[in-house]
Amino acid sequence: MHTSVTTIERFILDQEDRYPEATGELSNLLYDICLATKIIAASIRRAGLVNILGASGIQNVQGEEQQKLDILANETLKNCLKHTGRVCIMGSEEDDDIIPVPPEYPVGKYAVLFDPLDGSSNIDVNSAVGTIFSIYRRVSMHGRGTVADVLQPGCKQVAAGYVMYGSSTMLVYTTGQGAHGFTLDPTIGEFLLSHPRIITPRIGKYYSVNESNFPRWGKGMQAAVRGLKGDLTEGLNGVVPKNSRYIGSLVGDFHRNLISGGIFLYPADSKNQRGKLRLLYEASPMAFIAEQAEGSATDGVNRILDIMPEMLHQRTPLVIGSREDVGFVADTVRQVGERNSGAVSQPAL
């Protein structure tokens, strides 16, 4: 049997070796998250069976298994992190407030944020869902951690990643030394290196956006999306016209575009004036990965990683993916905005 495969543990350790001052705490925190996502993956794989097994009486579907999967994913992540002594505070899309480490456990130097199950409406139709995570070094000096530890701009992330529970389970993460992808081998329960140093194409094949919101976008965004299709009647500079792909799961849509090249957009609109996606759990971690893969991410005006969050559940418009395509959208929004009103003050409208 050949043993040249690289497990995620070995890969993380190799990267840590480049930093003699590293204590191993971040590496261990990344393993904790891997374990949580393997447990979530197992629950998702059985999701469609729970009712069948319950009805047949083989499986008792009381309690945990009846929980919605996003609650189960949330509890799994919290349970895998809270006792480790590596975390001082957590934040989750599923919890209104910051999540302290229970008093019986020690605290560590990291703040962890997550979207436990992204695209959860896809579960019922057996499509891709994911988990997104983001790690910051704490800024409070001691104690249990505070809201200041999680309200940091994305450029301060020390690591970020996502796991996509698709036809196979894949984990993509970065610690600022490139973005790397691993595929879960279910027979041995290990993530194996499958996509080292992902570089996303400069110009993509796809655009991914919920176009049913088109009538509610500003003129600049409407012109930009028409431009992505090849319609340049506004007299704008062009991009290579694109094909459309949208499954309504950020992880799934982002992952496809990262590998094949493309742009994902969730603009602000007249109903969601600050956009829909959350800065801390969705936009910032994905922006870190995109930039590490030589792509980019903006809210239409500002680089996502520069935005200073004011609230835990803050939303943001998001335009992310292949660098030239993101540039085209930002330029178009600006040009049309200037043409119409002299100045643009609202991002991505």
**Closest Cα partner for 179 from 320, 72, 47?**
320
Of 3-11, 26-34, 85-93, 284-292, the segment contacting Mn ion by CB under 5 A is: 85-93
Pairing mode, if any, of strands 318-321 and 262-266?
antiparallel
Q: Are 298 and 290 in contact (CB under 8 A)?
A: no
Query: Would you give the distance in Å from CA 134 to the centre of its chain?
Result: 8
Interface with Mn ion includes 299 (CB under 5 A)? no
Nearer of residues 2 and 271 to ligand AHG, judged by Cβ: 271
Nearer of residues 198 and 250 to ligand AHG, judged by Cβ: 250
Residue 249 site contact among Mn ion, ligand AHG, none (CB < 5 to 8 Å, cut-off depends on kind) = ligand AHG
Nearer of residues 249 and 298 to Mn ion, judged by Cβ: 249
Nearer of residues 86 and 315 to ligand AHG, judged by Cβ: 315
- Which positions from 217 through 236 interact with ligand AHG, judged by CB under 6 A? none
Residue 65 site contact among ligand AHG, Mn ion, none (CB < 5 to 8 Å, cut-off depends on kind) = none
> What is the rounded CA–CA span in Å between residue 163 and residue 294?
20
Q: How far is the CB of 115 from Mn ion (least distance, A)?
A: 4
Interface with ligand AHG includes 92 (CB under 6 A)? no
Of 93-101, 146-154, 231-239, 327-335, the segment contacting Mn ion by CB under 5 A is: 93-101
Interface with ligand AHG includes 314 (CB under 6 A)? no
> What is the rounded CA–CA span in Å between residue 275 and residue 237?
26
> What is the rounded CA–CA span in Å between residue 321 and residue 91?
25
> What is the rounded CA–CA span in Å between residue 326 and residue 297?
7
> What is the rounded CA–CA span in Å between residue 110 and residue 112?
6
Interface with Mn ion includes 115 (CB under 5 A)? yes
Among the listed residues 16, 32, 118, 325, the single contact to Mn ion using CB under 5 A: 118
> What is the rounded CA–CA span in Å between residue 193 and residue 146?
35
Q: How far is the CB of 122 from ligand AHG (least distance, A)?
A: 8
SS3 245: coil
Burial status of residue 342 (CB atoms within 10 A of its CB: 0-12, 13-18, 19 or more): exposed
- Which positions from 112 through 141 interact with ligand AHG, judged by CB under 6 A? 115, 118-120
Binding site for ligand AHG (CB under 6 A): 93, 115, 118-120, 210, 248-250, 266, 276
